[in-house]
Amino acid sequence: MPWEQDRNQIEVYSEGRKRRQFVGVLRHDSATSRFRFEYDGDYLRSDRAIPLGPELSLARPSYESEPGALFPSFSDRIPSRNNPAYAEYCQAAGISPEETDPMMILPAIARRGPSTFIFEAIWKDNQTIGERVKQFRKDTNLSFFDLAQLLDIPVLSIKRLEAGQTRRDSGLIGMVRIVLDHPDVFLELLHIRGARIHDDTRHSLEMMLQK
């Protein structure tokens, strides 16, 4: 899949027993080597809000570090490389023990800590949704009509997706992303709506999805 971890952004959440709340975003500017943390507005207005750390009080919505200096509230969560179990932590999290980028380390082996704050990776799509739809139709030999029938949306919507003209339709884009990212979901749609397309096309697509 054309997804990769964003090396310049991390989302922060606060998680209790039954509730998770978005706290803010840590960003890294590779050009200046500075880190910037920005609290979410709703979090700052929440009665449950507590500061991420002493250097990141709720008095300000955002903070910027000195060049190359990660905020202690983040850096203190990263285990020491001298820890005998450090390599095991990395292996379990799916990163190399040689990884030095804190933006990759934090949501991996430092994702959870003694506080309620959780660091989550942000994943980005290397292709636009239009490019992905176009490539998918090419790989599957589906026509505009066939794909529209399977997704139960107008043919014009497929054409607009490929042309990049549906950026504001987040519901449609989200639905199409889910279908393209999960073959089992598309296979289920094929079972439900496969009668709408040619038998040869349906059987060919079914075999491809089952692989």
Q: What is the pLDDT of residues 45-67, one digit of tens each?
A: 999 999 999 999 999 999 999 99
- Listed ranges 1-5, 104-108, 122-126, 159-163; the one with the highest mean pLDDT: 104-108
Average pLDDT over residues 163-191: 81
- 40 within 8 A of 14, measured Cβ to Cβ: no
- What is the predicted pLDDT for the residue at 59? 96
With vertex at residue 102, the alpha carbon angle to CA 80 and CA 73, rounded to the nearest 5 degrees, is 75
DSSP 194: G
- 206 within 8 A of 193, measured Cβ to Cβ: no
Give the pLDDT band of residue 161 (cuts 50, 70, 90).
confident
Rounded Cα distance between 37 and 25, Å, is 6
Average pLDDT over residues 18-29: 95
Average pLDDT over residues 84-106: 94
Give the pLDDT band of residue 188 (cuts 50, 70, 90).
very high
Average pLDDT over residues 174-198: 89
Rounded Cα distance between 211 and 202, Å, is 15
Give the pLDDT band of residue 5 (cuts 50, 70, 90).
confident
- What is the predicted pLDDT for the residue at 3? 62
Angle, helices 129-140 vs 144-151, to 10°: value is 110
**Mean residue pLDDT across the chain:** 90
- What is the predicted pLDDT for the residue at 163? 86
pTM over 0.85: no
Give the pLDDT band of residue 126 (cuts 50, 70, 90).
low
Buried b / exposed e along 191-205 (16+ C-beta atoms within 10 A): eeebeebeeebbeeb
Taking 80 as the threshold, does the pLDDT of residue 168 lie above it? no
Rounded Cα distance between 194 and 166, Å, is 26
